[in-house]
Structure formats: C-alpha cells, structure tokens
C-alpha cells in the first residue's frame, strides 16, 4: 500500500488560515468549533516543525560556507 504524501507547508498554512476565519465568524456550533480548533492546533504544530527543519537546514548550509550568523530581525 503506497504511503500518503504529507501536505506541504503552504497547504497546511492555507488550511490553518481557513480555520481561523471560520472560528472568527463564531457561527459554528461548539462541537464543530472544538474540532476546528483541534485541527488548527495540529496544523500549527506541523507548520512549526517544518519551519524548524528549514531553519536547521539553512544553518547547516551557512555553516558549511563559513558564513553562519545569527538571525537578526529588522525593525
């Protein structure tokens, strides 16, 4: 049996945005809202994991080139 392909970051983020919009309308019944919230938490965790993996990969690539610098936010 073939393994199902995991959704990519962009797909997960788009679905998470849809869930937020649905929850903000406050039109869904409590049980449906709880289900959406649970799905949203799972998607947020998956997105965070993908971002952490990308960050580590970038750090390794920069380290190999000798140009590793900490990330600085722009104000």
Q: pLDDT tens digits for 46-70?
A: 999 999 999 988 888 777 666 656 6
Return the higher-pLDDT residue of 25 and 66.
25
Query: Does residue 4 sit within a domain?
Result: no
Structurally, the chain folds into a number of domains equal to 1
Give the least confident one: 11-20, 38-47, 48-57, 64-73: 64-73
Report d(CA 40, CA 23) in Å as an integer. Answer: 10
Is 74 a member of any domain?
A: no
Query: Would 20 be classed as within a structural domain?
Result: yes
> Which CATH number is 19's domain given?
1.10.287.1040
What Å distances lie between residue 14 and 2, 6, 7, 20, 75, CA to CA?
26, 14, 11, 10, 27
């Amino acid at each position: 049996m073939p393994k199902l392909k995991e959704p990519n970051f962009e797909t997960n983020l788009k679905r998470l945005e849809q869930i937020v919009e649905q929850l903000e309308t406050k039109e869904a019944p409590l049980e449906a809202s709880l289900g959406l919230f649970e799905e949203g938490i799972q998607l947020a965790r998956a997105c965070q994991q993908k971002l952490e993996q990308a960050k580590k990969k970038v750090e390794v690539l920069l380290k190999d080139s000798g140009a590793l610098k900490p990330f600085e936010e722009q104000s």
